[in-house]
């Protein structure tokens, strides 16, 4: 179902801190119909979406969202959610039935909601993620739609929600399309379905819609930000941090907005070694909400990255949001613990969440564990940079990500792209994305995995590496992916020498390097696909990178082996990218121990703060 009209625009609200609001969980077994011909969505003759057909004519079509039942024994209805297969929500459909393993297309979900609405409340359906195009119907009426496979959306249903039994229908389509973000070409598995939690959220008629509460990087005793109400009204707002005995009154303007700039009392800063979080309470006469927030500063000074004005080295790893043993899309707090604990075992203080927004469970857990995060959107490879619809999708995903996690102390880098080939429209595209970030949040680092040039010296043995990407001047930190020893030559060739030419006044992060190795496959260190070859690549990479004076971090590719239909070498890949330092059975490879020891030594030079 490619986007085809203005009616396809995302129709949701921010609902900051949705996880801590009054809510009813809608997870569980849902009815499920696979619909590859989009029978339940479009008329079979002219392909018009059913929700765009005159209501009087809909009865002639197979409108699944109406949940029709035969009115008499001769009445023909060619679907029945009550008899349909059941599927777990949240959860991708790919791992729940082998016949759907590679399915890409339209599916229908359905469940009943029994509810008694309160007259002085508003109600929102909240989907933490559904991949990719989602249409939501309640009691036969279209509630809204969303484009984007990894970002949350909230749709108001106050006027549609009945007292008693309600019928919820959701049409999800994960088919890859050229104009989407990401587009047709990715190097990860296209898990489909309602992949994260679903909630029915209750709010007062006038509620606290959004807020940002952070330290001023330049004046770290000042608390800066804002509170935004759902309605354009003037109101008194109370901000409290009970543990500090802090209470401050704000007054919203006629637009429901109140700016914040106040001196903090004595407090403990959030850090890697001391990830201190404070209960922060915001209240009005009609609403109150609580969040757990850490207060810290993050900024760049020359070639240094400063956490609370102290230089740090980002000992990182990249990861996908996938549980490899199943394999399936990760989504729960337990899944987040599984991934972040593995990073901790590697002696990491930093995780790159590739290549899309991960579940909100991850940054919230990272806040508690003292792990720094790189977060990004899937502007990746062959994006159609000259299409306004494509930019709108990227911009929507970026706004949602930054708004969702702008109060998380662990989130320090917003990345707007990964491995995007340089051209004029692409660079303009990325600059516009950066401006969106800085409009929302000026307290963090903005970057991207940049393009880089790899040149041979005249003797063809040594190499020069240049980060000449025209977007580089826009980045607070220089970052790039490079695969010397794997996609470029072999690891022994790095011994001849590699010279990096970089801006001496900016920190440099290697956002990816690595090599594939089938877990348990051993051999000579020059035998590709073995753990020994991968370990040799890491040995040579770490020697080379240590020669870069501005190196302030790295996030090698990748923590776990992960599924991808692009990788088809029989007996080795079998539909997996094998660059994981942990195998798909979570068994460490040789390179895991090498990187762990390197990080232990690096922590002595750049101690955590």
Q: Which fold has domain 6-204?
A: Jelly Rolls (2.60.120)
Provide the pLDDT for residue 6: 33
Cα-based distances in Å from 145 to 6, 10, 263, 483:
11, 6, 42, 40
| CA distance linking residue 336 with residue 23, whole number of Å | 22
Sign of the Cα torsion 279, 22, 91, 176 reads: negative
Provide the pLDDT for residue 459: 67
| CA distance linking residue 286 with residue 280, whole number of Å | 17
Half-sphere exposure of 479 (CA within 13 A, CB side): 30
The domain ranges of the chain are: 6-204, 208-285, 300-605
Provide the pLDDT for residue 567: 97
- Provide CATH code, domain 208-285: 2.60.40
Provide the pLDDT for residue 4: 38
Q: Please tell me the pTM assigned to this model.
A: 0.95
Provide the pLDDT for residue 83: 94
| CA distance linking residue 331 with residue 379, whole number of Å | 22
Provide the pLDDT for residue 54: 64
Provide the pLDDT for residue 458: 64
Q: Which residue has the tokens 């991968």?
A: 534
Whether residue 207 contacts residue 14, with contact meaning beta carbons closer than 8 Å, is answered with no
Provide the pLDDT for residue 41: 77
**How high is the mean pLDDT in each 10-residue block of the chain (609 residues)?**
41 82 97 92 67 61 80 88 96 94 96 94 97 96 95 96 97 96 95 98 96 95 96 94 97 96 96 98 97 98 98 98 96 98 98 98 98 98 94 97 98 97 96 98 97 81 90 98 95 90 97 98 98 98 97 98 97 98 98 98 96
Alpha helices, H only, 204-347: 333-345
| CA distance linking residue 89 with residue 196, whole number of Å | 7
Beta strands 85-89 and 310-312, pairing class: unpaired
| CA distance linking residue 543 with residue 513, whole number of Å | 13
Provide the pLDDT for residue 495: 87
Cα–Cα nearest to 356, from 377, 375, 381: 377
Homologous superfamily (CATH) of 300-605 is: Glycosidases (3.20.20.80)
| CA distance linking residue 200 with residue 156, whole number of Å | 10
Provide the pLDDT for residue 75: 85
| CA distance linking residue 312 with residue 306, whole number of Å | 6
Tokens coding 599: 């990080």
Mapping DSSP onto H, E and C, the string for 330-379 reads CCCHHHHHHHHHHHHHCCCCEEEECCCCCCCHHHHHHHHHCCEEEEECCC
């Amino acid at each position: 179902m490619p986007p085809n009209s203005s009616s396809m625009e995302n129709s949701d609200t921010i609902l900051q801190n949705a996880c801590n609001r009054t809510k009813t969980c809608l997870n569980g077994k849902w009815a499920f119909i696979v619909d590859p011909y989009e029978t339940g969505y479009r008329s079979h003759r002219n392909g018009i979406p059913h929700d765009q057909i005159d209501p009087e004519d809909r009865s002639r079509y197979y409108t699944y969202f109406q949940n029709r039942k035969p009115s008499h024994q001769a009445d023909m209805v060619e679907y029945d959610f009550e008899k349909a297969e059941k599927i777990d929500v949240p959860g991708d459909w790919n791992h729940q039935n082998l016949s759907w393993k590679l399915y890409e297309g339209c599916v229908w979900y359905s469940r009943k909601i029994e509810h008694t609405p309160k007259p002085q409340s508003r109600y929102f359906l909240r989907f933490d993620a559904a991949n990719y195009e989602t249409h939501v119907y309640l009691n036969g009426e279209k509630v809204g739609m969303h484009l984007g496979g990894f970002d949350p959306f909230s749709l108001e249903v106050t006027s549609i929600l009945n007292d008693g039994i309600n019928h919820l229908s959701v049409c999800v389509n994960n088919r890859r399309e050229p104009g989407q973000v990401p587009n047709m070409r990715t190097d990860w598995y296209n898990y489909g379905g309602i992949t994260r939690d679903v909630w029915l959220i209750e709010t007062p008629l006038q509620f606290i819609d959004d807020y940002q509460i952070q330290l001023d990087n330049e004046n770290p005793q000042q608390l800066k930000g804002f509170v935004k109400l759902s309605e354009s009204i003037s109101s008194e707002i109370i901000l409290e941090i009970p543990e500090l005995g802090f209470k401050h009154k704000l007054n919203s303007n006629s637009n429901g907005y109140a700016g914040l700039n106040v001196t903090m009392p004595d407090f403990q800063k959030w850090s890697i070694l001391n990830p201190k979080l404070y209960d922060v309470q915001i209240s009005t006469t009609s609403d109150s909400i609580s969040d757990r927030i850490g207060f810290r500063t993050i900024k760049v000074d020359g070639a240094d990255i400063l956490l609370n004005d102290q230089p740090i080295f980002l000992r990182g790893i990249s990861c996908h949001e996938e549980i490899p043993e199943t394999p399936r899309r990760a989504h729960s707090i337990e899944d987040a613990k599984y991934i972040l604990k593995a990073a901790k075992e590697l002696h990491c203080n930093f995780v790159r969440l590739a290549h899309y927004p991960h579940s909100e469970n991850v940054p919230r857990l990272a806040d508690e564990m003292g792990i720094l995060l790189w977060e990004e959107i899937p502007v990746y490879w062959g994006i159609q940079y000259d299409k306004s619809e494509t930019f709108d999708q990227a911009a929507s995903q970026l706004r949602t990500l930054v708004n969702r996690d702008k109060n998380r102390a662990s989130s320090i880098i917003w990345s707007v792209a990964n491995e995007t080939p340089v051209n004029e429209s692409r660079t303009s595209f990325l600059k516009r994305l950066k401006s969106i970030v800085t409009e929302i949040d000026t307290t963090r680092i903005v970057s991207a995995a940049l393009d880089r040039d790899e040149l041979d010296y005249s003797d063809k043995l040594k190499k020069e590496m240049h980060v000449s990407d025209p977007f580089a001047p826009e980045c607070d930190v220089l970052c790039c992916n490079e695969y010397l020893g794997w996609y470029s030559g072999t690891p022994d060739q790095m011994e001849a020498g590699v010279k990096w030419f970089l801006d001496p006044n900016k920190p440099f992060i290697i956002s990816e390097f690595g090599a594939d190795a089938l877990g348990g496959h051993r051999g000579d260190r020059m035998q590709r696909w073995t753990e020994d070859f991968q370990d040799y690549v890491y040995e040579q990479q770490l020697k080379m990178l240590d020669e870069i004076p501005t190196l302030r971090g790295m996030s090698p590719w990748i923590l776990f082996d992960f599924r991808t239909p692009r990788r088809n070498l029989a007996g080795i890949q079998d539909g997996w990218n094998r660059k994981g330092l942990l195998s798909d059975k979570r068994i460490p490879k040789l390179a895991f121990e090498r990187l762990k020891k390197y990080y232990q030594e690096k922590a002595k030079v750049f101690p955590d703060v």
